[in-house]
Structure 1
């Protein structure tokens, strides 16, 4: 019988986290779930674990040869056989309530749905405020809203492809998408994922492909942050510098061509911008590029990386400005206005969150399996 849901996991050298994530999903004991794991780790720890449990729900492939992270994501997606897919990190989790929504989605021919928010979980050592692990549980509703994904994508482009998680866009990472939609993306673009960031690439590609997208107000996944994650590295001010220093470029089959409309420096913000525009091109829908607004992207990059590479960012932005023949005063005035707008938006979100019901913080949570159990207990009590 074809699985209702396939959970794709691409992992590399984070064996202890991946094993716990697999255990947490298997704890549901749901035959409608397939777990597809593409493992590029230097050890066989995950392979040995999978061999021992011998679960028919787990499809596993091990290859420790040099391959790019994008190739590993594509390999994991290629292994999925379910009607719907969900891409998770090897330190993330999923909640069993997701299966009820998948039944609803199948019955109503929904192409894509995702939760507005996830449940944050910091593995021990990942965050200075939660040295022994921390789970943050907020109150939620159970509403559903149908969204025009193409209109929402235009909003994201006008916002500089910044903070995509604040938009009501479809996604495969912590989202649920028909496998048929992903196959259409592969047929049109050449693969399931491209560029440098699989999550942003797929956000854009799915938005351009799906016809029936919903936002669910109830969290359906747990977003894990482990010590080896890029999110944890951002707390330390890492992930910025020259393009040649990007780990995303390792082991790629062909040299990567950076997008002409994105300043040439390494940061989370510019990687998102490059991958978003790359996805538009890969999907052969260039008419959407006209909506891209460079100024919020530059502003966000400055806000995020000013302590590390401010002078270098300014140099590269000046290079782009001159190539585009944009007046210097106009360019930097618009960047300054975008910085102000982003700061105001952040203050509004902080104020809104402070005025709502406070989240419950659970500390001393040792792994994702315990996080899942504690979340279920907390929700059932409220």
Structure 2
């Protein structure tokens, strides 16, 4: 292994060469030798990515092809283990990063910051991306929101408390490894304490909760040094057309998870909400089991009832179990109140869509662009000349 670099950008992938190749190309176009791109590939198809990676003569690229089937979480675990940089950023194979991420890592190192989480103010939709409400209106578009360039210090324990109160539904408000910068020593600490960085069926949720447990604070910056992508074949793409749910034993996302254990407290079906909850539950079980009593199961049941009435049986089965367990944060009255609160949240969302009826939701749209490479170049043009991370 050569000299340790400032930053490792880690990309787990599986059977998605057409996205991953452009993703990696876009990052390697950055004019810096202070980072590496780590790709861990479990593809079992024709794997154009492997053939392309072998042909690349760039020592910043570390490509590993794993010949056995792995779950998403296992793939992420092996990918992160390859990182050697002072800081680590985990992204998806249809995403990219801005060259500002190098300045961000230097800034974090200089200021003694272990976790730097950007607000999501840049997004790219691949040409095959569509949604229920807007069809293909997003296809090929780069979206940029208003940016304040402010950096705010956050309390990790408070962020964790808020997340538990929301049944850990997403990484919003938490420290992030996925589309964030994390000092590698924190990941080493997570691995040293339990043997793994990730638990459960959602690596990004698991990492965020783990980081909240091993840190006292983190920083949030209102500047997009990463560019999340959304493609038709991704979990984001499935969610956008309401197809990101189903039977746990048969869903393609879930099948690779061997010997999967599922807590009786959680409804036994596959959805965004239950996967997030499962990852959170597993992470807490291994890292901080005393916090499971603070997991707001009433909120989870309420959200599942509101969004997934077609899975009534497993939801009711979880409820029946919860009624007989003491010490769990659950009651029928709390579910009723949580459903009412969730109704108003959805109402506010509909009102916002009415106020901003176009698919950009008030953000500036650019493009269309045929892949994330060109979208990244446009983002560089718009954002790259005004660095927020001063030397």
Settle same-fold status: TM greater than 0.5.
Answer: yes
Partners of 1:149 and 1:348 lie apart in 2 by: 32
More displaced stretch, 10-19 vs 66-75: 66-75
Q: Which residue does the alignment assign to 1:184?
A: 189
CA separation in 2, counterparts of 1:84 and 1:295?
37
Could you list the per-position Cα deviations for residues 76-95 of structure 1 after superposition, in whole angstroms to 9, with x for gaps in the alignment? 11111000001110000101
1:86 aligned onto 2:93: no
Q: CA offsets per residue over residues 359-378 of structure 1, 9 Å max, x none?
A: 21123210000000122233
Pick aligned residue for 2:180 from 175, 181, 194 = 175
TM-score w.r.t. the length of structure 1 is 0.90
* Paired residue secondary structure (1:162): coil
Contact 2:248 2:255 in 1 (8 A): no
Asked whether 1:229 is paired with 2:231, we answer no
* 1:99 corresponds to: 102
Instruction: Tell me the residue number matched to 1:141.
Output: 148
In the alignment, is the contact (CA less than 8 A) between 1:73 and 1:198 conserved in 2? yes
Aligned counterpart in structure 2 of residue 62 of structure 1, from 42, 62, 65: 65
What's the counterpart of residue 293 of structure 1? 296
Q: Gapped runs of 5+ residues in structure 1?
A: none
Secondary structure of the residue aligned to 1:6 is: strand
Shift of 1:260: 3.4
Match of 2:161 in 1: 154
Moved more, 274-283 or 290-299: 290-299
- In the alignment, the residues of structure 1 paired with residue 240 and residue 22 of structure 2 have an alpha-carbon distance, to the nearest angstrom, of 24
For 1:171-219, what per-residue CA distance to the aligned partner results, in whole angstroms no more than 9, with x for missing partners? 1100110111011111112212121110000010011012341000111
Q: Which residue of the partner structure matches residue 75 of structure 1?
A: 78
Deviation (angstroms), 1:237: 1.8
Determine which structure has the larger helix proportion and give its number.
1
Contact 1:122/1:135 (8 A) holds in 2: yes
The 5-angstrom pairing of residues 18-57 of structure 1 reads 18-42=20-44, 43-57=46-60
Across the aligned residues of Structure 1 and Structure 2, the Cα RMSD in angstroms comes to 2.6
The alignment covers a number of residue pairs equal to: 375
CA contact (8 A) 2:269 2:311 kept: no
CA shift in 2, pair 1:349/1:213, >3 Å: farther
Provide the residue aligned with 1:312 in structure 2: 313
**Per-residue deviation at 1:381?**
9.4
In structure 2, the residue corresponding to 1:245 is in which secondary structure?
coil
Q: What are the ranges of 5 or more consecutive residues in structure 2 without an aligned counterpart?
A: 387-391
Corresponding residue to 1:14 among 13, 16, 21: 16
Separation in structure 2 between the aligned mates of residue 273 and residue 190 of structure 1, nearest angstrom: 21
| 2:201–2:275 Cα contact (<8 Å) kept | yes
TM-score of the two chains, using structure 2 as the length reference: 0.88
